[in-house]
Structure 1
Amino acid sequence: MSNLVSVLQQWVERFQPSAAGGVSAVFEFQVDQETQHILLRNGQCSLESGEHNDPDATLRMNLSTLQAIASGELDGMAAFLSGDIEVDGDVMLAARLTEFFPPQ
């Protein structure tokens, strides 16, 4: 299992369906030349391999940034504003990631 898959699998395990409400979304993560995506549908969450054909938000960053956000050491919005994360698509939806997947 890759480091990216390991971090994102931890996110999936921490998924808060109540925070996601009726949200239906695809978050694509492009991290250090690897791509995975998380699907939110009907209060369920799953991790899928590779690119998605129509993600709602694509986030590009390095693994250390993702790990710092996942652990709560780094605020995702601060990382975005400093240029450590690039987002294509729905930036406001991407800003809600820590609601759906609270840090450890």
Structure 2
Amino acid sequence: MSNSTLDKLKARFNPDAAEGMDEVFQFHFEDAGDHYLVIKNRTLNVQEGEHDDPSVSLSMGTDTLKGIMTGDINGMTAFMTGKLKATGNVMLATKLTSLFPN
């Protein structure tokens, strides 16, 4: 994943939406390296690699993530059509748009 995408995530992070959260979002990108986001009580920490025990794991291409984040792609549609695969606490994935609003 390009640094610009990560920088955009950091810039758009909404700490109010992360109040009381303690979750790890693992991203497996088909066309880039693995990254994970640690969201803990209003803070965001982006790490490269794989986490031992993520709350939810999401597999997709970077274009799919960009589309979901910009609102061009509906996350549920991406999931239903196989562009996005999720394991773990799948409902957490629905919080991504409130954690990273446009």
Question: Normalized against structure 1, the TM-score is what?
Answer: 0.88
Cα distance in 2 between the residues matched to 1:41 and 1:58: 17
Superposition RMSD in Å: 1.4
Q: Which residue of 2 aligns with 1:63?
A: 62
**C-alpha contact (below 8 Å) 1:7/1:70 kept by paired residues:** no
- Please state whether the residue corresponding to 2:97 is helix, strand or coil: helix
What is the aligned-residue identity percentage?
37
Structure 1 runs (4+) greater than 2 angstroms displaced: none
Match of 1:7 among 5, 8, 15: 5
Stretches of structure 2 that go unaligned for 5 or more consecutive residues are none
Cα distance in 2 between the residues matched to 1:58 and 1:9: 21
**C-alpha contact (below 8 Å) 2:16/2:42 kept by paired residues:** yes
Q: Which residue of 1 aligns with 2:73?
A: 74
Q: CA deviation at 1:44?
A: 0.4
- Please state whether the residue corresponding to 2:27 is helix, strand or coil: strand
**C-alpha contact (below 8 Å) 1:9/1:47 kept by paired residues:** no
| Letter of the 2:94 counterpart | A
Question: Normalized against structure 2, the TM-score is what?
Answer: 0.90
1:22-48 alpha-carbon deviations (Å, 9 max, x no partner):
111000111125100011012101111
After TM superposition, the structure 1 = structure 2 runs for residues 49-60 of structure 1, keeping only pairs within 5 Å, are 49-60=48-59
Q: CA deviation at 1:6?
A: 2.7
Cα distance in 2 between the residues matched to 1:57 and 1:6: 23
